[in-house]
Structure 1
Amino acid sequence: MGYADGSLSTGERITYRTRQHPAAVVLGARWTIIAVGIATLLFLIGGNLDPDGLSGSLRQSIGWLTALLFFGGLVVFAWTGLRYFSLEYVLTNRRVILVEGVLNRSATDSSLEKINDAVVSQSVLGRMFDYGDLTVATASDSGITPMRTVRSPIVFKKAMFDAKHEHEVDRERAGWPTSPPIREGATSPAWTASMGPAPESAPTPASVPIPAVPPVVKAHPDEVARRLAGLADLRDRGAISPEEYDAKKVQLLARL
C-alpha cells in the first residue's frame, strides 16, 4: 500500500494515479551523464600516457579526476532515480494528491471543488513521448505544486475534470452547495485595502418590520425515506462524508 492510500478518508477512493515519465530521470541527471562521459574520455586519455616522469604525474591526476567524476555521477544519478520512484500523482473522488520525498515523505492536496483550471505544457519531445508539465489552478493561493514531466498529462487532466464533475453532481443531488455561500453582512470581495476602510453595514431601521420565519414544510414519510436512501447511497460511494450524511439526515427527519 502506497503513502497516499494510508491518507484516504472514509469513503474516499483512488480513481487514477501516475508518476513522472522516465524522461524525468534523464533530464534531471543530464549533467551527471555528461560528467560520466567526460570521466570515460579522461580514462581513455590517461591510459595512453607514459607512467614515468611528467606524464606519470598527469596520468595520476587524471585518474583521481576520473574517479571523482565517475563515482560522484553515480551517486547523483542514484539519488535522481530514488526521487523519481518516490514522486506520485494521485487522483481520488474528492481531491488531487501530490506525494513526494525520499527520506521525509509529504503529501500536498487540493479538493476537487476548488480546482478552476489546469494548463498542460508540452515540448516537441514531450508530444512525441507523451509527457509534459501540468499546472493546476485552484481557488486558493496555495495549491498543488506544478507537476513536472508527468506521464500522459492530457489523460490526467481529463480524469481530474471528470472526477470534479461527478463530485459536483453528487453534491447537488444530496442538496449540498458546490461552492461556499457568502455570509450575510460580509464585506464584498471586490473591496480591497487600497480602497480604504470598508464601509460599515447600514443599521436596519426600526420601522421596517422583520419578516416572520416561515414554518417548516412537512414532507411525506415516503419522500423522506426515498431521500435518505439516496443520501446513504452517496455516502457509501464516497460522494459525501458520513458527517454530511448525518447532518442532512437530521434536516430530513425534522420535516416529518
Structure 2
Amino acid sequence: MSYIQNNLQAGEEIKYKADIHWYIFAYPVILLLLSVFFSSAQTGFFHYVSLFLLLSGLFQLIKRILLKMGTEYVVTNKKVILKSGILSRDALELVLNKCEGIRINQSLMGRMLGFGSIVVTTGGVTNKFDFITNPIKFRNEINAQIQ
C-alpha cells in the first residue's frame, strides 16, 4: 500500500493522482544511443567517450526510474500531497484552503507532449511539482476541491 493511502485522514479521499511524464527518460536514452554510436568507432578516444556516455546514461536511467517509482502527486478533498523518495522520504502536504495561487509552467516541448510543472503558493512559500502529466487537469482538480 502506498504512503498516501496509509496517511489519509478520516473522511479524506483521493480525487486525482498525477503521474510523472515519460519524457524524464529522454535524456538517458539519448546518452545511451550516443554511446552506441561512438562505440562503433575503432579509435581509443571514441572508445572512452562511448564508455563515459554509457555509464552516464545508465546512471541517469536508474536515477529517473527510482524517481518515477518513488514519486506521488495527489489531490485529495482536503489537501495536495507530494511524496518523493524510496529509501529516504520527503513528503509535503499543502492544505487546500491555504493555497493562494497556482501557476502552470510548460515549455514548447511540454505543451506538445502534455507535461509541465505546477507551482503552488501557500503563505508566501512556493512549491514546485515537476514533469506532471496533464498539468492543466491537475490544476483544475485543485481548483475544484478548493471551491
Residues 69 and 24 from structure 1, CA distance in 2 versus in 1: closer, same or farther, beyond 3 angstroms? closer
> 2:17 maps to which residue?
17
> 1:152 maps to which residue?
134
Question: Which one of 34, 39, 54 corresponds to residue 70 of structure 1?
Answer: 54
In 2: Cα distance, 1:69 partner to 1:160 partner: 41
| Ranges in structure 1 where 5+ consecutive residues have no aligned partner | 47-57, 166-256
Residues 124 and 115 from structure 1, CA distance in 2 versus in 1: closer, same or farther, beyond 3 angstroms? same
**More strand by percentage:** 2
* 1:84 equivalenced with 2:80 (yes/no): no
Residues 22 and 129 from structure 1, CA distance in 2 versus in 1: closer, same or farther, beyond 3 angstroms? same
Tell me how far 1:64 sits from its aligned partner: 4.7
* 1:132 equivalenced with 2:116 (yes/no): yes
Assess if the C-alpha contact under 8 Å between 2:41 and 2:47 holds in 1.
Answer: no
Tell me how far 1:62 sits from its aligned partner: 4.5
| TM-score of the two chains, using structure 2 as the length reference | 0.86
Residues 129 and 42 from structure 1, CA distance in 2 versus in 1: closer, same or farther, beyond 3 angstroms? closer
Letter in 2 for 1:128: M
Letter in 1 for 2:116: G
SS at match of 2:10: coil
> 2:35 maps to which residue?
39
Tell me how far 1:34 sits from its aligned partner: 4.2
SS at match of 2:69: helix
Q: Percent identity?
A: 26
Of the two structures, which has the highest relative contact order with CA contacts closer than 8 Å and spacing of 6 or more?
2
Tell me how far 1:142 sits from its aligned partner: 3.3
Assess if the C-alpha contact under 8 Å between 2:78 and 2:96 holds in 1.
Answer: yes
| Ranges in structure 2 where 5+ consecutive residues have no aligned partner | none
In 2: Cα distance, 1:38 partner to 1:127 partner: 26
- Give a deviation string over 1:122-166, Cα, whole Å, max 9, x none: 22222222211111122x1335x211121111111111111111x
| TM-score of the two chains, using structure 1 as the length reference | 0.52
Assess if the C-alpha contact under 8 Å between 1:4 and 1:107 holds in 2.
Answer: no
Which entry has the higher C-alpha Rg, 1 or 2? 1
Aligned ranges for residues 174-189 of structure 1 at < 5 Å?
none
Letter in 2 for 1:150: I
> 1:117 maps to which residue?
101
Number of equivalent positions: 147
In 2: Cα distance, 1:150 partner to 1:115 partner: 18
